[in-house]
């Protein structure tokens, strides 16, 4: 028995679709990427010792580089990690910042910049940094997700899933049925998981 191409061909993942939209320079996809990952890059810059305004400048440089090189990133390779790639770009832009601060041209400032960069925490593998990435992404997804639901639906999710209150208690507080509480919680959780799966790993 044979199957048509639509059955045999694996559907693209949510993350693959997101990368496609990035490569097509769709503004909504880029807004979501920057909104989700800029706090992480900013935190990395602060961990490297930059002041707030300097960190903000480097964040802009990082995402300008990402926009220019997104076509070079092969997210389909098993060993590919967007976060690792982003960390590498961040370290490079941090080195550039250090050279500019020292007033050294790039060609002659390599050794000094490298020595400084070696003192910067490993952005990709540092345990605190990794935990911060996940917490930040989850927080951003929660913030963006809240905008998609009516207030009562979000309250039902927040009170049960985040504050661990019983469905019966929440139903009474919101003047809805217990079944509606469970339905609201499932709807929001399903959407939040989809949001997280869409983002690059």
Distance CA 16, CA 1 (A): 30
Q: Which pLDDT does position 146 carry in this prediction? A: 73
Mean pLDDT, the chain, integer: 76
Tokens of 167: 């469905």
Distance CA 103, CA 100 (A): 5
Q: Which pLDDT does position 44 carry in this prediction? A: 85
The model's pTM is 0.59
* Domain ranges, ordered by start, for the chain: 12-122
Q: In whole angstroms, how far apart are CA 188 and each of 23, 136, 173?
A: 29, 19, 19
* CATH number for domain 12-122, candidates 1.10.420.10, 3.30.450.20, 1.10.1740.10, 1.10.10.60: 1.10.1740.10
Q: Crossing angle of helices 14-23/178-198, nearest 10°?
A: 50
| Positions of the chain with pLDDT under 50 | 1-14, 106-109, 127
């Amino acid at each position: 028995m044979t199957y048509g191409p639509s059955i045999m061909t694996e559907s693209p993942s949510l993350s693959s679709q997101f990368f496609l939209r990035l490569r097509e320079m769709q503004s909504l996809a880029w807004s979501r990427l920057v909104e989700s990952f800029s706090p992480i890059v900013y935190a990395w810059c602060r961990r490297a010792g930059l002041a707030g305004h300097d960190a903000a400048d480097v964040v802009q440089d990082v995402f300008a580089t990402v926009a220019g090189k997104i076509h070079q990133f092969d997210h389909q390779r098993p060993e590919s990690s967007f976060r690792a790639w982003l960390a590498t770009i961040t370290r490079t832009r941090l080195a550039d910042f250090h050279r500019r601060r020292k007033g050294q041209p790039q060609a002659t400032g390599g050794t000094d910049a490298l020595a400084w960069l070696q003192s910067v925490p490993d952005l990709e593998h540092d345990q605190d940094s990794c935990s911060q990435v996940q917490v930040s992404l989850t927080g951003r997804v929660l913030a963006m997700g809240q905008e998609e639901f009516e207030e009562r639906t979000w309250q039902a999710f927040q009170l049960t899933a985040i504050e661990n209150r019983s469905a019966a208690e929440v139903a009474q507080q919101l003047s809805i049925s217990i079944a509606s509480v469970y339905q609201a919680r499932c709807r929001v959780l399903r959407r939040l998981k989809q949001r997280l799966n869409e983002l690059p790993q």
